Copies of this chain bind each other. A is one copy, B any other.
Amino acid sequence: MSILVVGSVAFDTVQTPAGRADRVLGGSASYFSVAASFFAPVHLVAVVGKDFTEEHARLFRDRDIDLSGLSHLPGETFRWSGVYGDDINQRTTLSTELNVFQEFKPVLPERLRKSDFLFLANIDPDLQRSVLQQVKRPRLVACDTMNFWIEGKRASVLEMLKGVDVLLINDQEARELALEANTVRAARKILGFGPSSLIIKRGEYGAALYGSHAHFAVPAYPLLDPVDPTGAGDAFAGGFMGHLARSAALDDATIRQALVVGSVMASFCVEDFSLRRFQSLRPEQIRTRIKEFGRMTQYADPA
């Protein structure tokens, strides 16, 4: 089954303790689609400027990602610049230039409206809702959002969540969305807003799944040499949705596996700047890491 992702394509300038990358391909839809493409066909809907060249497009086409929904507008592509501290979990945004992204009004080509799986990457909740209105009963809708929208467009975020099955956010965003200081309580409350599953992304601490009767948690794969955490959350979502689409199943057991696949794809993402690690990544390397991940979490019942 195929996946439709609506989000951003950007050029990032990133500095981390491991080095620096200038004006490299980034954006939520880029990370998501490349990670998901290892598991299922992906259709990307986003907007780029005239600085997005055939060379950039090739990076997606090499992974068989459908770019027919990518709008090309005059002007520059969205740019983001940030720096990570010695503690690589601490990020400071230096600049954000929306450029053509300001004019982004996703209109889905007719044949994409019947997608089975839809991922609404972190964009304006008004745009997320407009996409939801255009699609025809997808089997699963997942989405991401952030404090900027939760604070600034709370009503729209809550409206959007009514149409969403899986919400992927971090602890702090969950607490802010639910107005609850305790994450477990916040999760319960958010499950009342619409989503049947909530995934709390915890960065280097892994991820937790909250559902109506299930709770599941996975650690992060430990990296000796993390290079750049940018996009890890979107790569997680890509691996997560990719596994669901490949399995064509949405039961609890498959969702648990999808969290593991998401964690593994996030770990590869962090191993290099931009989408570079995915360019050389081979399916057997993914399988090997999934196996390692299993050894990292298994134990015999001590009861």
> Which A residues contact B (CB, under 8 angstroms)?
17, 86-88, 175, 181-185, 188, 202, 204-206, 208, 215-219, 222-226, 243, 253, 256-261, 286-287, 290-291, 294, 296-303
Q: Would you list 13 pairs from A and B whose C-beta atoms are within 8 A, ordered by A residue? A: A86-B181, A188-B224, A206-B219, A208-B219, A217-B297, A218-B219, A219-B219, A257-B300, A257-B302, A258-B302, A287-B303, A290-B301, A291-B303
Q: How many copies does the complex hold?
A: 2
Q: How far is the CA of A256 from the CA of B299 in the complex (A)?
A: 6
A217-B223 contact given A260-B299, A302-B258, CB 8 Å threshold: no
Most buried by B among A17, A298, A299: A299
Q: Could you tell me the distance between the alpha carbons of A301 and B301 in the complex, rounded to whole angstroms?
A: 18
- CB pair A17–B181 under 8 Å, yes or no, is yes
A171 to chain B, nearest CB (A): 9
Task: Collect the chain B residues with CB atoms within 8 Å of residue A215's CB.
Answer: 222, 296
Of chain B, the residue at the smallest CB distance from A243 is: B302
- Residues of chain B contacted by A185 (CB below 8 angstroms): 224
A216 to B258, CA, bound (A): 20
Residues in chain B near residue A256, CB distance under 8 A: 298-300
CA distance in complex: A290, B301 (Å): 8
